[in-house]
Structure 1
Amino acid sequence: MAATPVPGGEAVRRVLLCGLALAVSCGCAAGGGDDGRAPGAPTGVTARAGSATSVHVMWNAVAADPPVGAYEVYRGGRKVGDVPGSAHMLDVVRLAPATEYVFTVRARDDDGRLGPPSREVRATTPAAAPADTSAPTRPGGVTGRAAGSRAVQLSWSASTDDREVLSYDVYQGGTRIHSVGGAQTATVVTGLRPGTRYSFTVRARDAADNLSPAGPAVRVTTPPGTDDGRDTAPTGFRATTRRAADGAHYIDLSWVAPRVDGVVTEYGIQLDGATVTSLVWGGTPPRGRATYSFYAGRDPGVTHRVRLRARLPDGTWGAYSAERTVTTGAGG
């Protein structure tokens, strides 16, 4: 049921639109692009050993104007890779086994301006397995289903190996688009086109870089439309109000990040039908349930509708969470 507008609601929205969301209170920073400036630092950077001699580095797309034309990946202070702006992953190869490495990523826009480095991430390659020439078994039971018009959910049964399955590689057609850890047997692929037929396969990899045969291909057609994908919405969304000691009212939010490829670091909050702010975690987002609180004015009895959505690692926005209605003064 729609909330009835009451005095004070518009004032709260105006304050939020002017940047009321206090980033310091939740370890976040306000998001947004800087027109005509170098792109920002990539967020959501992760590094995971793909074998004893390779590391898989991933990051979230950076929104910039002009657009990002390429990403540069650094090992320590040395550039080790350069990929187009449409890509958000790179395998760094020819590494030493049983060694820790430090990686950063920088975005470069179409005008050649290079943005600042991301935060450092570390990965340690496992020890090499001597004389290991046995590849893992092929993944079985591969299934897929459309999760709205722009995402597909994939799952498969675990492969076996004489030592250990270190990772799974996901292919779209003949192109590898993602890798996940050896303990993971499901993922959500985002950034797809509506009304398009796709074919996905999965292969397992061990520490010696032995690659299994591809599992059975699964073909999925995304439905027509422009929705963001129902499985890309934050889950378990809750909203309550509280009254602080000084008499001010606050809205407290909590949610669980959607399960997608990569790390979700940015969320957009919508209040009473208008997007009021974006929250960006500068460091590592919390595991499990995330929380955020913002000022809602000093008047009791003001009703608000609130929901939020995640910016997915591919740079697109996911679906909105369920909408919650709260009234100041009703939560204590």
Structure 2
Amino acid sequence: MACCACAGPGGGDEGRAPGAPTGVTAEAGSATSVHVMWNAVPAVSGYEVYRGPTKVADVPASAHMLDVTRLAPSTTYVFTVRARDAEGRLGPRSPRVRATTPAAVAADRTAPTRPGGTVGRAAGSRAAQLSWSASTDDREVVSYDVYQGGTKIHSVGGDQTATVVTGLRPGTRYSFTVRARDAADNLSPAGAPVRLTTAAGADEGQDTAPAEFRVTARRADGAYYLDLAWVPPRVDGVVTEYQIQVDGRPATSLVWGGTPPRDRASYSFYVGQDTGAGHRVRLRARLPDGTWGAFSAERTVTTGTGRG
């Protein structure tokens, strides 16, 4: 279910603790590690990551991921994240997420094969799309680690061979590599590097825009409502917030509670009682790195006439 508010979930208002991080995910990286990710909270100084009731790490504001290590195989863990502002105020815990580590493999010293066929392209000025062919292992590939230069920036499950990296800078050259990991924490050699340059200037990156956006006007109980439908942008993480703009002005923010939709999203809101009123509507997503993505295509709709 979605809830609507005029202000986003951000943090750091003067005198107020930051909000709870959204889009928290946890994925087993090996038999003894779990990769935890969350959406960035604006205007904070850092994050605290918890395993159950125990804090396991402090994370700087510039990061929104952590590898939790020294875990037990074949065990389910619960993780939460809290944001902290510059005054030291801690926000509430995020929703809990669970991850189960796979069983340990005795005497496994064989690393997976190198990921092959790595390709990538810039998606506008702030994102890059990467894909690769699956590695093989004598037991099982549990995860893939994505590196920017020599720094690990993300991890995805062993059944996933593509991702989108966001939070990049316009007009900047990047190099990415991918390594496979098995349950015993054996790492493959890095796949061939992918070098790309993001678009220059103020390009927002159209691949970060919601796709297939449609608007329909509907009359109910003597008033008109706009029914919106779209496909969320395919980004690296979970999109939990959208800004809806009507007639060139922000109309409302939409914040998803529970599990946000990944394949098709919809939302309805009240626009008044006047028949024949025309409106221009578009929306954009707040990306997992805390920045706004590109706007969707703008649609026009007139109350009393149906589709936009």
Query: Shared topology, TM-score over 0.5?
Result: yes
Distance 2:252 2:276 in 1: 23
Name the residue aligned to 2:33. Answer: 54
Residues 70-109 of structure 1 mapped to structure 2, 5 A cutoff: 70-109=46-85
Q: Which runs of 5 or more residues in structure 2 are unaligned?
A: none
Match of 1:298 in 2: 273
What is the match of residue 321 of structure 1? 296
Report the Cα distance in structure 2 between the residues aligned to 1:190 and 1:272, rounded to whole angstroms: 29
Structure 1-normalised TM-score? 0.89
* Structure 1 residue 287 displacement after superposition: 3.5
Are 1:243 and 1:331, in contact at CA under 8 Å, matched by a contact in 2? Answer: no
Which position in structure 2 is the counterpart of 1:171?
A: 147
Q: What is the letter of the counterpart of residue 272 of structure 2? A: G
What is the match of residue 129 of structure 1? 105
- 1:262-319 Cα distance to aligned partner (Å, 9 max, x none): 1000001111111111111132102321110000111111111111111000001101
What amino acid does structure 1 have at the position aligned with 2:238? V
Pick the aligned partner of 2:13 from 22, 35, 53.
35
Deviations 1:47-78 (A, max 9, x none): 11011111100000012xxx211110000110
CA deviation string 1:110-133 (max 9, x = no partner): 121111100111111111112211
2:219 matched to 1:243?
Answer: yes
Of 126, 132, 142, the residue aligned with 1:156 is: 132
TM-score, normalising length: structure 2: 0.96
Question: 1:74–1:105: 8 Å Cα contact kept in structure 2?
Answer: yes
Cα distance in 1, alignment partners of residues 78 and 191 from structure 2: 33
**Partner SS state of residue 260, structure 1:** coil
Question: Which digits, 9 at most, give the CA deviation of each residue in 1:11-34, with x for residues without a partner?
Answer: xxxxxxxxxxxxxxx432424346
Q: Secondary structure at the match of 1:68?
A: coil
Q: Distance in 1 between matches of 2:213 and 2:116?
A: 34
Equivalent residue of 1:278, what SS? strand
1:279 aligned to 234, 254, 259, which one? 254
Of residues 94, 108, 116, the one that matches 1:140 is 116
- Identify unmatched segments of 5+ residues in structure 1: 1-25
1:16 counterpart residue number:
none
Give the equivalent residue in structure 1 for 2:163.
Answer: 187
Which of 23, 28, 33 lines up with 1:44 in the alignment? Answer: 23
Q: How many residues align?
A: 303
Cα RMSD over matched residues? Answer: 1.2
Note closer, same or farther for the CA distance 1:49–1:316 as it changes in structure 2 (3 Å cut): same
Structure-2 separation of matches of 1:239 and 1:223: 30
Letter in 1 for 2:231: V
Cα displacement (A) at 1:162 = 1.3
Query: Secondary structure at the residue paired with 2:252?
Result: strand
Partner in structure 2 of residue 9 of structure 1: none
Quick one: distance in 2 between partners of 1:181 and 1:29? 32
Contact 1:29 1:282 in 2 (8 A): no
Letter in 1 for 2:189: P
- C-alpha deviations, 1:78-108, integer Å up to 9, x for none? 0001110010000110001111111000001
* Aligned counterparts of 2:75 and 2:66: Cα–Cα separation in 1: 18
Gap change, CA 1:29 and 1:209, over 3 Å in 2:
farther
Could you tell me whether the CA contact under 8 Å between 2:4 and 2:252 is conserved in 1?
Answer: no
Question: In the alignment, which residue of structure 2 is the partner of 1:257?
Answer: 232
